[in-house]
Amino acid sequence: MVQETEITPLQQKLETVATSISKFGLISAVLVLLVLIIRFLVDRGVTHTWDDGQKYTQLIRFVIIAISVLAVAIPEGLPLAVTLTLAFSVKKMMRDNNLVRRLHATETMGGADNICSDKTGTLTQNKMNLTNFWNEKLYEVDPYIKGTLGDSFPQKYHEILKQALACNGSATLEPLFGSKTEVALLEFLQNRGEDYNTIRDQYLNATSIKFPFSSQRKRMSSVLENVENGLPSKKRMHIKGASEIVLESCTQFHSFEEDRVIPMTGTMKQQIENEIENMAKKALRTICIAYKEVSGDEGLLFLLFSFNNSNFRFHHQR
């Protein structure tokens, strides 16, 4: 099952080494034979014992010695030894749940110091940052400049936004846990002077309901008990997920500039879809965040965040 149909790089090198050693052994055998014959002739010439009956036996012994040198020099067992070693490596890697189908893969990996891989085929640091935020127009944010979230957004918008980012998810920064998208949202809150743990302690309690992200729904949801003036108020459901999925369910839009809910028209939806497509063309990952007052108010907040793996900017979309 591990037989190869083509010569691997290691086998090519071994063949080159074996050929070189064989040539060296052949030259050495010829030289040994010549030296022995010359010594034989000199000894016989000095002693004048040309008629000795042992001379043919000595010559045959010289030839045997030369052949022995040649046979010892040729590494016939080297390819077999290397193949057995690689096969042993394949078996050892199999015990580590690493299936190697071809021996030359073991040869290659044996010379690797670092292995970089990514399921999408792109190599990244596996670190994501919030880069853009869209709400009627495009906003950009520098991830390295700290600020205050409350100074950047109107009061109600600010309250809903920090709830959606901090409470609708299970990621943490210390220790680092959760999807890189959620971690990027928490880092954005932290850079804007908001403690996500404090927000969670304020809004998450025994009555809160969480629906984790699933590939079928393509979104996650949380139902929180809203607090106004220190007293429990209406419940609010936050949704975060794939932009096109969440957008399809939205009927109203929370305006950033006016800090109020307005109806979402077909033209507005089309504009948002175009913005999502433009961001996707820039290799940005887009998500949509929405909310609904469970009491019956159909007001929806729509935020479109886009991410990439290097810079941190900020889009605001309504």
Domains and CATH numbers, the chain: 9-110 (no CATH), 129-316 (3.40.1110.10)
Catalytic site includes residue 118: yes
pLDDT of 111: 67
More confident residue, 54 or 254: 254
**Does residue 244 register a pLDDT over 50?**
yes
- Specify the range with the lowest mean pLDDT, choosing from 67-76, 100-109, 186-195, 290-299: 290-299
- Please report which confidence band the pLDDT of residue 166 belongs to, taking 50, 70 and 90 as the band edges: very high
Tell which wins on pLDDT, 244 or 73.
Answer: 244
Give the residue, 119 or 296, on which the prediction is more confident: 119
Q: Exactly one of 43, 118, 201, 259 is catalytic; which is it?
A: 118
206 pLDDT more than 60 = yes
Q: Is 209 exposed, middle or buried (0-12, 13-18, 19+ CB in 10 A)?
A: exposed
Quick check: 3 pLDDT over 70? no
Distances (CA, A) of 21 to 9, 27, 31, 69, 76: 18, 10, 15, 12, 11
Instruction: Please report the pLDDT score of residue 150 as a whole number.
Output: 57
| Angstrom distance (rounded) from CA 108 to CA 229 | 65
pLDDT (average), residues 99-104: 75
pLDDT of residue 53: 67
Dist. CA 274–CA 277, nearest whole Å: 5
pLDDT of residue 212: 87
What is the pLDDT averaged over residues 25-37?
Answer: 88
**Whether residue 24 has pLDDT greater than 80:** yes
State the average pLDDT for the chain.
78
Q: What is the pTM of this model?
A: 0.57
Q: Would the pLDDT of 267 be above 70?
A: yes
- pLDDT category, 122, cuts 50, 70, 90? low
Q: Does residue 54 carry a pLDDT above 80?
A: no
Mean pLDDT highest for which of 71-85, 97-111, 186-200? Answer: 186-200
Give the pLDDT score at 314.
34
pLDDT of residue 297: 44
Pick 317 or 154 by higher pLDDT: 154
Number of Cβ within 10 Å of residue 82's Cβ equals 17
User: What pLDDT was estimated at residue 239?
Assistant: 92
Residue 307, exposed/middle/buried by CB under 10 A (0-12, 13-18, 19+)?
A: buried
Contacts of 250 (CB under 8 A, 6+ apart): 264, 269, 288, 290, 300, 302
Dihedral (Cα; 154, 157, 160, 165), 10-degree rounding: -90
